[in-house]
Amino acid sequence: MDRQPYSLLKTIAGPEDLKAIPPERLPEVAAEIRAAIIDQVSKTGGHLAPNLGVVELTLAMHYVFDFGRDRLLFDVGHQCYPHKLLTGRLEQLSKLRTREGMAGFPEPRESSYDLFSVGHAGTGISTAVGMARGDQLNREHFDPKNNPDGRRVVTLIGDASIVNGVAMEGLNNAGTLKRQFLVVLNDNGMSISKPQGAVSQYFDRVRLSHTYGGFKKTAKKLLSHMPGGEALTESYHRMGEAAKAMLAEDSWFEKFGLVTVGPIDGHDIPALIEFLAEAREFDRPMVLHVKTVKGKGLNAAENDATSFHSPPSFNLTGDMEDEGCRIEVKSAGRSFTGAFGEAMLDLLQRDDRVVACTAAMPDGTGLTRPMQAFPDRVWDTGICESHALDMMAGLAKTGWKPFFAVYSTFMQRAFDQAFQEVALQGLPVRLCLDRAGLVGGDGAVHHGFCDISLLRTLPGACIMAAIDEPSLVAALEFMREHDTGLSAVRYPRDDVDPRMGGRCPAFEIGKARCLTPELWSGDDTPDVAVLAFGTPAMAALDARERLEGKLRVAVWDARFAKPVDRGLLRSLIEKSTPIVTVEDHSVVGGFGSAVLEAAQEMGLDTSKITRIGLPDRWIYQDSRKNQLAEAGIDADGIERAVLAAAGRRANPSPTPGRGSPAGR
């Protein structure tokens, strides 16, 4: 689609400019925001459907509240694009999800309007409670009598996120606040995929049963039976008539002590402004239940919000709101996620004891087809990683072979369960860690940078990495038969490299695979050995090709970070071969650290071991290619590390084909 002029949007350098626009023109602003987001995401990819669904809601919140002083906290944050465009960041949109442009999640480094870097579900209510208490202690909070200009607190959370355990804990505590506190529940019936569980079914009933004028008669009676009933009954008289009319009878949230209003239409700007204006003056914790349509304004996204949650770049033809609108997603290569999905389907077909689950990511982890083919053996638990892993532990205890497909960054949320209910019990639960390492445009909130360091602390754990599709298939087959404890395989958000072909030797626990066997036979010794854990092995092969004629560089697919190949390590060190370890993981506590520790435990010299991996600092949004280069774990970085390691050799051998000292 052609770039729009955005005549109104360009005049908005901040929320004060928005407030100067007459209310009747706000739908024009909404249309320009949608057009700008669709235009940019079609070029670069990004979170599309979540942002299209909250345009009017975000406009209304900024129109009513003063978030230069009031607090706005996002849950997850992938619906923040409209917020960013209303807070002066239109110019950054053209470089969305790159270092020079706008991050795809709230980012305090960009703007004071973003309070937390946030990309995990369930956290918004708890951080908002903390800020509400902090403002109260600082005597800066809104109080209708004593401080009418004080800070208000608003948190925006989705109906799928609110079932997360952290969100439940936050709600439980929010109900004890004795001040203004607004939870805006964005209810679109979706997370990335369809929400799961009893709470989502409750919301389905609410959407069908609640109507705009049906509660005024029972509202006062209802309040008298709620926690803090007398105070809330008094509060009833301070609520506006619109809010009273929409007071939800027998609301789920009332059990937590939060007055609940709604559901209301999240795309009706005048109604949103009316309700938010009343909520702004209410001095008790409240939930405003807002019904929205994920993907609103783009027909294809409305009809398939899962596929257009975070699509790659695409071509759009036709009117975006018309049934004839067509979207052609630009073709991409074969992904590790796609390879995993096919391999998992094969395991389920071959072994009727295999089961699998994911936490709200069936499409993102490749489990959509396996779920369709085996609905009784593959489950989506919703955004509940801790529950999912404990459920897998229970399945393992009853004799099944459970596989948990989860993004590496979200596996962190279930580490306690990996420790207590899996590893401590010696149960064979299998972790399939998608998005391991650097993730590109999603940036620091989603990097899978610490799964090795966390999991290798667990006694009996077996930790692997895949370098391509055949090695991923082989790792999964190894895990299927591994029944002595927790096992994990990690793989990146990337396309598979086909160069090794379709054959791969079976995994043997604690054994690496030499990718350059011609340099590791008999008494032949390489100048430098690269032990690569995961896909950096492919970059190491590229670096080795560049150095051909200068150095003899042998490359290993390490395969295991726990246990490491001690036999190989001893052999290399005893031959005084410099070793470079490389991994798409933090250099702190990762595979390289495991190699150092193993050498030290065997009493071997560690002075010729060089570790490269993700540095001990944050790497922000950009292309994955640029991030790998920044970390020095691309071919260039590995080449530099190999040359430096070779330069430390005391007596290099200038034999034919091995280069000369000057060349190092």
Residues that are catalytic: 294, 385, 413
Structure tokens at 381: 């638990």
Residue 89 burial by Cβ neighbours in a 10 Å radius (0-12, 13-18, 19+) = buried
How far is residue 230's CA from residue 386's CA, in Å, rounded to a whole number? 38
Cβ atoms 599, 606 nearer than 8 A:
yes
Under 8 Å CB-to-CB from 493, ≥6 apart: which residues? Answer: 335, 336, 337, 434, 435, 439, 440, 624
Three-class SS of residue 355?
A: strand
Q: Nearest Cα to 170, choosing from 237, 75, 272, 53?
A: 75
Beta pairing, strands 314-317 & 326-329: antiparallel
Under 8 Å CB-to-CB from 220, ≥6 apart: which residues? Answer: 233, 236
CB crowding 386-407: b at 16 or more within 10 Å, else e: bbbbbbbbebbeeebbbbbbbb
Cβ atoms 94, 46 nearer than 8 A:
no
How far is residue 216's CA from residue 255's CA, in Å, rounded to a whole number? 20
Under 8 Å CB-to-CB from 467, ≥6 apart: which residues? Answer: 497, 500, 532, 534, 535, 537, 538, 557
Dihedral, 135, 140, 146, 149 alpha carbons, nearest 10: -120
Phi, psi dihedrals of residue 608, rounded to the nearest 5° = -105, 20
Neighbouring CB atoms inside 10 A of 653's CB total 12
422: left (phi over 0), alpha (psi -120 to 50) or beta: alpha
How far is residue 321's CA from residue 296's CA, in Å, rounded to a whole number? 9
Gyration radius of the chain's alpha carbons: 28
